[in-house]
Amino acid sequence: MEKLTKDLKENVQYFKGLFKDCDDILFREIEIGDEHKVKIIVIFVDGMANKEFVSDSAIQSLFWKDDLNHIPVDETYELFFNRIFKEAIASAELKKEDKIETIIDNILSGDTALLVENMDKCIVIGSRDGPSRSIEEPKTETVIRGPRDGFNEIMKFNLALVRRRIKDPKFKVKFKQVGRRSRTTVAVLYIDDIVDKKLLDEVKKRLDNVDIDAVLDSAILENLIEDNYLSPFPQVENTERPDSVAAALYEGRVGLIVDNSPFALIVPATMGTLIQSSEDYYERWSQTTIIRIIRIIAMFLSFTAPALYIAITAYHPGLLPTKLIYFLAASRINVPFPSVVEAILMELTMELLREAGTRVSGPIGSTIGIVGGLIIGQAAVDAGIVSPLMIIIVAVTTISTFAIPSYEMATGFRTVRFTFIALAGVLGLYGVVLGIIVLLSHFIILSSFGIPFTSPFSGLGIEEGDLKDTLVKAPIQRLWLRPGFTNPKNKRRMRGHKK
Amino acid sequence: MNKDPKVSNIQIRGLIVSTVIGVGVLSLPNTLTMTMGNKGWVTIILAGILIIPILYIINYIFKINPGKDFFQIGEETFGKIIFKIILIIMMAYFIDFCAYVVRSLGELVEAFLLPTTPIEVIVLSFILATSYLATHEIDVITRGGYFLYPIILLFAGIVILISIPEADFSNLLPLNNIDYSQIPRGLLDSFVSFAGFEMILFALPYVENGKDSTFKSSVYAMAMITAIYVLTYVVCIAHFSVEQLGRQLFPVLQLVKQVDLPGFFLENLDGLIMALWVLVVASTFIPAYFAAGKVISKIFNLKSHKYIILILIPIIYFLALYPRDILQINKILLKPFNILGLMTGVILPLLFLIVILIKKKVKK
């Protein structure tokens, strides 16, 4: 069956057969009319639809509307159906529908279907109202100054949070269904007269090409649409903050909000955007500039610090001042392992602690911190298994990974860190540089939706002055152009100083 | 994603600078003092100026043949067979380029960073690491060039800055007694250090925005390279005298090694400079490696140069390790490199120009 038939019984039979053993789907049969009775069936999902709303504005109003119940003898079902549609149901979202597939989709999303006797159409009442979390402060991207609202799992709230920041009819929201079984709604967000058409088409094309049975979170969608899924580095940005999404849209990028996920996706993502955090724009430019530079150093340290330690202690002690070298040698004199083993040992311990710490929370979590950080560290040094400098290096490395705003980016660096340790163990400083060559090559080859990942450092957007908002952060008055890497249709943000 | 590679005008600048500056910057002061005494800067500037017309010719060739790449234009102007011969010369040039660069790198890394590691390991690991980027198309290569461009400036900046405190600029004096008979030799020596600018042959046809100002861009890049060379040369002369400089093969590294920075965290900067220099060499080696692969793939009419790059790994490796010592390197790798470099860098563009002009006359 593709469309509804005129026979109510057959229709209901079909739905009952389809929803067999789905005990959470309710069928409510009502009859209205004084002398001439008309049968109506109401179908909705318990818990997904707002039951109170369905009772009040759909069922009750049918019963209580007097002239509706006086059905003239000569009235056709068609006229009666239209009367219900126009006069009887007090709902803001209402539509007629005859395609069964759409009706099923709507019912399962929380809408209510109203089937009327002898009609091959039904009324779909928008009654979606599932369980939801209230709007809370984002857990992953906290700010000292700036808005504190974060996304939750309900898409319509998330969209509203973004819409509140862009009151412009040019701000478009396009829905797409992804996932054969999960039928997850994905909203494509963009500002029509800023976004590059090619980018938008590419995003839509990739969404259409997704073929999977379920998309449970935006992370799954992210993996399915990114350019290189084998890379340890993300090519899609994600955020819990509506202000970040709005800012990205104003830059000419495309946002994706996935139902049931508090993380919105932003494409394209580049090296430049992954070192920006939303707080950068709420603080004074001078401070942010320093923080940006610190982040770049942190990025570098997060994968090279232990490798550099190994290279210098094992291969090139001459690089350091003589006094420091003596101190280093003295502190390592009791350590029975070569520095590579020492570094791998400590890095593994650190990863272990981090993993244990993220899985448990609350009082046990702090115990892990104390036992892991303080006791193991101190004991390892006292026992002479590692040198105190190694502990410092490991700590610096770990803290560096936390200083990178994008968690996924930091994870990528964490993963490659072990390769660098091995390279430093085999070839010293030369090995580290070879590793950097390969890593840089990888970054240079990577692209995000056709935009080079290394932008703006590899040329795209340099002329528009993208470095002013990536390497440093210029005052807002100086950022009168939108970033160039997105090829925005509308380049100006404000009247600038130059032409 | 998009099939046609796209390059921007500004990336051309980065590509030229990062391709040209490589091995030459370390040895140029030494080779120049042999012929020019303390007047080497004259020939560097002269060589820089003489390359500008060549850059103009290359830009002109692509301007009158819009939408065609180097290989199409070459085939049209010279005919298939002659152009194949030209390509074979270019292939020899780029392979020799790669071998010479990687061997020099191996020698220096062995001398300054890894004294006990066999040079075979150093050379092979470098070729393997760079082959990853070289298998990609020209847009990726230029992106890489532009990305590494600030690192080259940083490298040159550090070298020049740290040597100023101990420099004695009176070594440059007297300024006027130039030995004109030596200028051709000096010019030739300087020209070798400018090898690599031919890379724009591969990149220019793909320039998207700012097509008209590519010549300006290339001249700007050349000016920057000349400035860096002159400054390093002046600093080296000022630090060592002419007599000392003549005895040091790689004076820049020697200079960095001698400079002491009391009170700094890193007392000896030579390790750091060597590490940076390996990156600088990578930015020279990768475009040349790519070019070798591309030219060979065109000789055999292949669509992709990906597998050629892999086949080239052992070829470059054996060629690089064939000479036994520095003298043999100069004889087997550097000499042909000079000749082939002149052929592809100077004679080829001139040939292009002559043939195109003659064809134009004949048509009229």
- Alpha carbon distance A441, B282 (integer Å): 10
Q: Which range in A6-15, B97-106, B200-209 is most confidently predicted, on average pLDDT? A: B97-106
> Distances from the Cα of A63 to the Cαs of A73, A76, A87, A452, in angstroms?
19, 19, 13, 63
ipTM score here? 0.94
User: Given an 8 Å threshold on Cβ–Cβ distance, is A429 in contact with B267?
Assistant: no
pLDDT for res A497: 61
pLDDT band at B249 (very low <50, low <70, confident <90, very high): confident
- Nearest Cα neighbor of A377 from A395, A366, A391 is A391
pLDDT for res B2: 44
Q: ω into residue A456 within 30 of 0, thus cis?
A: yes
CA A398, distance to chain mean position in Å, is: 24
Kind and range of the H or E run holding A40: strand A38-45
Q: What pTM, to 2 d.p., does this model score?
A: 0.92
- Alpha carbon distance A101, A94 (integer Å): 17
Q: ω into residue A234 within 30 of 0, thus cis?
A: no
For A230, half-sphere exposure in the C-beta direction (CA atoms, 13 angstrom radius) is 2
- Alpha carbon distance B194, B189 (integer Å): 9
**Best residue in A198, A203, A434 for a mutation probing chain B (most B CBs within 10 Å):** A434
- Nearest Cα neighbor of B103 from B317, B293, B297 is B317
Sheet of A184-191: strand order equals: A171-178, A184-191, A254-258, A264-267, A237-239
B113 CB neighbours in chain A (<8 A) are 315-316, 428-430
Find the closest chain A residue to B112 by CA distance: A316
B268 CB neighbours in chain A (<8 A) are 318-319
User: Given an 8 Å threshold on Cβ–Cβ distance, is A434 in contact with B146?
Assistant: no
Find the closest chain A residue to B280 by CA distance: A437
3-class DSSP state of A52: helix
- Alpha carbon distance B364, B353 (integer Å): 17
**Best residue in B132, B136, B289 for a mutation probing chain A (most A CBs within 10 Å):** B132
B10 CB neighbours in chain A (<8 A) are 459, 462-463
**Chain A interface with B: residues with Cβ < 8 Å:** 202, 227, 315-316, 318-322, 427-434, 436-438, 440-445, 447, 449-450, 452, 454, 457-460, 462-463
Contacts of A74 (CB under 8 A, 6+ apart): none
A9-24 average pLDDT score: 90
Kind and range of the H or E run holding A441: helix A407-445
- Alpha carbon distance B206, A459 (integer Å): 14
A460 CB neighbours in chain B (<8 A) are 8
B278 → closest Cβ in A227, A430, A449: A430
**pLDDT for residue A410 is more than 80:** yes
> What DSSP designation does A133 have?
P
A257-272 average pLDDT score: 93
A39-58 average pLDDT score: 88
Task: Give the minimum alpha-carbon distance from B268 to chain A in angstroms, rounded to a whole number.
Answer: 5
Per-residue pLDDT tens digits for A225-263: 999 999 999 999 999 999 999 999 999 999 999 999 999
Q: Give residue A75's identity as a one-letter amino acid code.
A: E
For A56, half-sphere exposure in the C-beta direction (CA atoms, 13 angstrom radius) is 8
Per-residue pLDDT tens digits for A74-104: 778 888 888 888 888 888 888 998 899 899 9
* CATH 3.50.30.30 is right for the domain spanning B9-363: no
**pLDDT for residue B1 is more than 50:** no
Find the closest chain A residue to B125 by CA distance: A434
Task: Give the minimum alpha-carbon distance from B118 to chain A in angstroms, rounded to a whole number.
Answer: 11
Structure token digits, residue A126: 């928008």
Q: Give residue A92's identity as a one-letter amino acid code.
A: A
User: Given an 8 Å threshold on Cβ–Cβ distance, is A429 in contact with B266?
Assistant: no
**Best residue in B147, B208, B259 for a mutation probing chain A (most A CBs within 10 Å):** B147
A49-55 average pLDDT score: 88
pLDDT for res B281: 94
Q: Bigger pLDDT: A27 or B266?
A: A27
Burial bucket for residue B292 (CB in 10 Å: 0-12, 13-18, 19+):
buried
pLDDT for res B261: 67
User: Given an 8 Å threshold on Cβ–Cβ distance, is B147 in contact with A442?
Assistant: no
Per-residue pLDDT tens digits for B276-289: 999 999 999 999 99
pLDDT for res A373: 76
What's the first-to-final CA gap in chain A, in angstroms? 63
**What proportion of chain A, given as a percentage, has pLDDT over 90?**
49
Kind and range of the H or E run holding A257: strand A254-258
A215-232 average pLDDT score: 94
3-class DSSP state of A480: coil
Q: Give residue A215's identity as a one-letter amino acid code.
A: V
**Number of inter-chain CB pairs under 8 A, A vs B:** 99
B147 → closest Cβ in A428, A438, A444: A444
**pLDDT for residue B265 is more than 80:** no
pLDDT band at A304 (very low <50, low <70, confident <90, very high): very high
- Nearest Cα neighbor of A178 from A265, A281, A65 is A265
B278 CB neighbours in chain A (<8 A) are 430, 433-434, 437
Of A140-144, A307-311, B166-170, which gets the smallest average pLDDT? B166-170
- Alpha carbon distance A342, A385 (integer Å): 8
pLDDT for res A327: 85
User: Given an 8 Å threshold on Cβ–Cβ distance, is A427 in contact with B125?
Assistant: yes
A463 CB neighbours in chain B (<8 A) are 8, 10
A379-390 average pLDDT score: 86
- Nearest Cα neighbor of B122 from B133, B136, B111, B135 is B111
**Chain B interface with A: residues with Cβ < 8 Å:** 1-2, 8, 10-11, 14, 109, 113-114, 117, 121-122, 125-126, 129-130, 132-133, 136, 140, 142-144, 146-148, 265-268, 271-272, 274-275, 278-279, 282
Per-residue pLDDT tens digits for A276-302: 998 899 999 999 999 999 999 999 999
**pLDDT for residue B124 is more than 90:** yes
- Alpha carbon distance A224, A209 (integer Å): 9
pLDDT for res B3: 55
**pLDDT for residue B269 is more than 80:** no
**pLDDT for residue A317 is more than 90:** no
Q: Give residue A370's identity as a one-letter amino acid code.
A: I
A198-222 average pLDDT score: 94
Per-residue pLDDT tens digits for A474-485: 998 888 889 988
